[in-house]
Amino acid sequence: MYRLRKVTGKEARLFGVCAGLSKYINPDMDPVAIRILWIIITFFALPFMTILYLVLAVVLKPEDYELKMEQKEQEKETKKAEKEQENKE
């Protein structure tokens, strides 16, 4: 199952929240539809939607978060293995 994440890169406009929502709803969906819907709803509930957007921008992790965490773990393991090999010599 796809988790709700912020989108980074070309699809993200401000913080990537709307693009992340569109990918969560339907991976083939264009984020513009969610952006337009968000703007329309914001006209009726400005303070709530603005606060919600900012909270989501802070709370949601980037789309490539898990990939970055795996890379960091691999780097730690590599450094640890190198240190062990240096200690053996």
Domain membership flag for residue 70: no
- Overall number of domains in the chain: 1
- Among 12-16, 33-37, 77-81, the range scoring the smallest mean pLDDT is 12-16
Inter-axis angle of helices 17-25 and 31-44, nearest 10: 120
3 state SS of 10: coil
Query: What pTM value is reported for the model?
Result: 0.58
Q: Say yes or no to pLDDT of 3 above 70.
A: no
**Residue 75 forms part of a structural domain:** no
What is the predicted pLDDT for the residue at 51? 92
- What is the domain extent for residue 39? 17-64
Residue percentage of the chain with pLDDT more than 90 = 8
Residue 84 lies in a domain: no
* CA separation for the pair 23, 17 (Å, rounded): 10
